[in-house]
Amino acid sequence: MHVLILGGTTEARRLAQALRDAHPEWRVTTSLAGRVARPLLPAGEVRTGGFGGADGLARALRELQVDALIDATHPFAGTISFHAARAAATAHVPLLALRRPGWVPAPGDDWHGVASLEAAAERLPALGRRAFLTVGRLGLPAFAGVDDVFFLVRSVDAPDPPLPPRSEILLARGPFTVEGERALLREHRIDVLVTKDAGGEATAAKLVAAREAGIPILVVRRPAAPEGVAGVGSVGEVVEWVRGVGG
């Protein structure tokens, strides 16, 4: 049994370990996009880099003799999920998506939902002047033209230009604590939080800190996912599904 995980997320690492623990005889390979300089490596085999689109992934599924494909990529990875759907259909390999549940507003939250990073950049100046920007380094160019807002930018790796003209870079990797997020908001006098609806627990503490501070939260909604692809929200459900594929 060969399981290929399209990974790069906390859930993908947990899944690789769970599959190895449940069935040590299975071959488990995790594919990483290679966008993080020093990724946390999962259990099992690891490959890094793209496949060359949907057709390249379909070829890889055949050549690697993959029996089950798991899309455990970030909710905002976008393109790879559509490539996975096409490739799985072409190569006749069962596909399941592991999707962490999205965040939902809690009582006391001042949420402002937008459809894109560009829309967030346009909306931001009306909500605050000192922003905590947590959208990932690849999303920063959308804010490069916002010159009347200070940005505290948090990223795992150092971002490349273009960057917002008034910005301070904070290199850090989650999970983060509510206490630590409170301190950041106070120290940098943050009056608005900008984030993508990544979901999960690793970076959710900033939402609690923002709620407690009474500051608005500008949330970029998730992009559309491929139609017709079954999805689950937990590692355990994926392990059971793979067992079913293996008979």
Residues 6+ apart with CB under 8 A from 228: 85
**Closest C-alpha to 142, from 117, 160, 110, 177:** 117
Q: Does the pLDDT value for residue 243 go beyond 90? A: yes
Largest separation between any pair of C-alpha atoms in the chain: 59
CA proximity to 75, closest of 238, 230, 222: 222
Q: State the number of CA atoms in the 13 A half-sphere of 156 facing the CB.
A: 16
Strand 2-6 and strand 27-32: the pairing is parallel
With a pLDDT cut of 70, the percent of the chain lying above it is 99
pLDDT at 37: 66
**28: how many CB neighbours lie within 10 A of its CB?**
24
Beta strands 2-6 and 192-196 are unpaired
pLDDT band at 202 (very low <50, low <70, confident <90, very high): confident
Res 236: pLDDT? 95
Distance set, CA 177 to CA 83, 141, 156 (Å): 35, 27, 16
What is the average pLDDT score of the chain? 94
Q: How far from the centroid of its chain's Cα atoms is residue 99's Cα?
A: 10
Establish whether domains 2-101+224-246 and 111-220 are of one fold. yes
Residue 181's nearest CA partner among 223, 221, 154, 209 is 209
Q: Are 206 and 134 in contact (CB under 8 A)?
A: yes
Q: What is the pLDDT of residues 56-104, one digit of tens each?
A: 999 999 999 999 999 999 888 879 999 999 999 999 999 999 998 899 9
Class of domain 2-101+224-246: alpha beta
Write the pLDDT tens digit of every residue in 135-187: 999 999 999 999 999 999 999 999 999 999 999 999 998 889 999 999 999 99
Q: Cα(78)–Cα(93) distance, rounded to whole angstroms?
A: 20
Residue 176 CB neighbour total at 10 angstroms: 19
What's the confidence (pLDDT) of residue 41? 87
Beta bridge partners of 98: 232
3-state secondary structure of 185: helix
Query: pLDDT tens, 10-25?
Result: 899 999 999 999 999 9
| Domain 111-220: which CATH number of 3.40.190, 3.40.50, 3.90.1530, 3.30.160 | 3.40.50
How many Cβ atoms are within 10 Å of 148's Cβ, its own excluded? 9
Percentage of the chain lying above the pLDDT 90 cut? 84
Whether the per-residue pLDDT at 36 is higher than 90: the answer is no
Residue 192, pLDDT > 70, answer yes
**pLDDT at position 107:** 93
Query: How far apart, in Å, do the first and last CA atoms of the chain sit?
Result: 10
Give residue limits of the domains in the chain: 2-101+224-246, 111-220
The mean per-residue pLDDT over the stretch 186-211 comes to: 94
> Could you tell me the pTM of the whole model?
0.86
